[in-house]
Structure formats: C-alpha cells, structure tokens
Amino acid sequence: MMNEQELKDTIRSIPDYPIPGVLFRDITTLVKDPEAYNSLITILSDELRPLNVDIVIGPEARGFVFGAAVAYAINAGLVLARKPGKLPCEVNRISYGLEYGTNSLEVHKDAIQPGMRVAIVDDLLATGGTARAAVELVREMGAEVVAAAFAIELTDLGGREKLADCPVFTAIKY
C-alpha cells in the first residue's frame, strides 16, 4: 500500500492550467497506476466502511471514477450526480455558485430515500462548492450525509470549512 507521499509522486502537476497562476493537479497519472489507484481506493474505503454507508454519491465526472470503486469496496450502492439534462427520469436539482457563474447537480428523485446513510466521494476538495451542493441535495432528499471523502484536498482554498457539519476524509493534501 502506498503512503501519501508516494501517491503524490504519481500525480502530475501542470503549471498555469487552465489559467495563469493555477497549478493543476492531474489525477489521470494516478488512476493509470494500478498500485496507486488501489491504494487510494483502499484508503478512502477504510475510512468509510465503519460508517455503514448505504449509498455513495459521485459528482460528475471524476466523482464517478472514485465513487464507483469506493462503493464497490464498501458494498454500497452508487448514485451519479449529473449535470443538468443528463438523467432520463424525474430529478432533484440543486444549483450552486462558482467563482464565475453557477452550476447545478441532479440526481434521480428515486435514487436516495429518506433515512439512507450517504457518503459523497469525489476527486478534489478545493473551494467546496460542489461538495456543499451535494450535501444539501442529499439532505433535501431526507437522507443523512455521514461523510465526504476526496482523493485530494487543496487545503489553502478553504473547502473543508464549507463541510464543517460532516466528517471529511482526504487521502492527499496539498
């Protein structure tokens, strides 16, 4: 099993992407490495397994990559939180602010039932906007958010503070 530094060593850092001044953390180099991907999923799964999670919700799109593997590892179901217009049945939607505009997440109305224990799993905790929206969407559906788990946390962007009302687990911190 790889430790945090070894996992960091598998992540490619790209300066000035997508805009000047941003150091982009590219997880595609981690997920293509079987040992790194397995280690990351094991770390997140080990944190969530004791919480008796019924459903993992993975926000589009990289949340699908991590959420599906974690859901499988902890024997939970998976709900995909999609961008508007991507789901074929009735949906619950939440809109949230971004640095330059807004975005929305949708899940099928019948995907999460009241009383379910839900974990949010995504690739990155940065400013926390997407994760906060996912928490609110789950709660509006009457379920309990038992944790939020992320592959990477950019600690200087303050996202953890937006999730102060639920446990947060991250495998890699920058």
Active site positions, annotated: 62, 99
Q: What's the Rg (C-alpha) of the chain?
A: 15
* Strand partners for 82: 106
Provide φ and ψ at 166, rounded to 5°.
-150, 150
Contacts of 60 (CB under 8 A, 6+ apart): 80, 81, 82, 83, 86, 105
CA distance 57 to 80: 6
- Residue 152: count other Cβ atoms within 10 Å of its Cβ: 22
Determine the residue type at 70: V
Confirm if 147 and 174 have CB atoms less than 8 A apart. no
CA distance 118 to 56: 6
